[in-house]
Amino acid sequence: MPKKVDHEARRREISQALWRIASTRGLEGASLRDVAAEAGISLGRLQHYFRTKDEMLVFALRHIETLAQQRIRARIEALDEEPTPRVVLRACLTGMLPLDEQSRTGFLVGVAHFHRAVHDPSLRTDARDGIPRLRAFFADQLRTAMERGEVRAEHDAEAEAMVLICLIDGLSTYILLDVHTPEKAVELLDMHLARLFDGAGAG
């Protein structure tokens, strides 16, 4: 048992080395050797955990998603006892934006993964599975909001959920390019949510 824990800890250490590279000079040009050097271990030892850069990227991405989920859950649990669908959605969406160092690095690891996935169909599986799950969760929130009269029932919940995911993607890109500030991005998100949650029955 302790051995397994060590392995997980070592994988996380390697992931952290990967993130440090992602947040400073970027992962595109980084080799397994560079990551081993940053983690302070030999290339052989690194390859004991990750045979390829893609394996490492997928692990780092999953770990970052876990961190983001924890962050979002903590935020929701800190709220009033019964958060509305709008509050849940907003917590998730702002949790996906690169508003601090952790989420910024997470987004950059995601972009590095995206870059490779575009040229490698097998890597696209992650996105093809993960995004529809996220969309389904958001759509559920929107349907609950429709039942509560907060979102007009004629809206297409699945489609609106996907528009939200796309919007977050673009808002994030333009934060990282200094086109707008994180605060401005949140403002644009809130404007979009306000238009979506304009149900005639909103109380």
Chain-centre distance of CA 43, in angstroms? 29
- Piece of the chain touching a second copy by CB under 8 A; list 32-40, 54-62, 76-84, 104-112: 104-112
156 binds a second copy (CB under 8 A): yes
Say if residue 84 is exposed, middle or buried (CB neighbours under 10 Å; 0-12, 13-18, 19+): middle
169 binds a second copy (CB under 8 A): yes
Tell me the Ramachandran region of residue 26: left when phi exceeds 0, alpha when psi lies from -120 to 50, beta otherwise.
left
68 binds a second copy (CB under 8 A): no
194 binds a second copy (CB under 8 A): no
How far lies 61's CA from each of 17, 96, 114, 161, 197, in Å? Answer: 13, 13, 11, 22, 31
Minimum distance, C-beta of residue 93 to a second copy, in the bound complex (Å): 12
Residues 50/32, Cβ–Cβ less than 8 Å: yes
- Piece of the chain touching a second copy by CB under 8 A; list 54-62, 64-72, 79-87, 177-185: 177-185
Residues at the site binding a second copy, with contacts judged by CB under 8 A: 24-26, 28-29, 108, 111-112, 114-119, 121, 124, 127-128, 131-132, 156, 159-160, 162-163, 165-171, 173-174, 176-180, 187-188, 191-192, 195
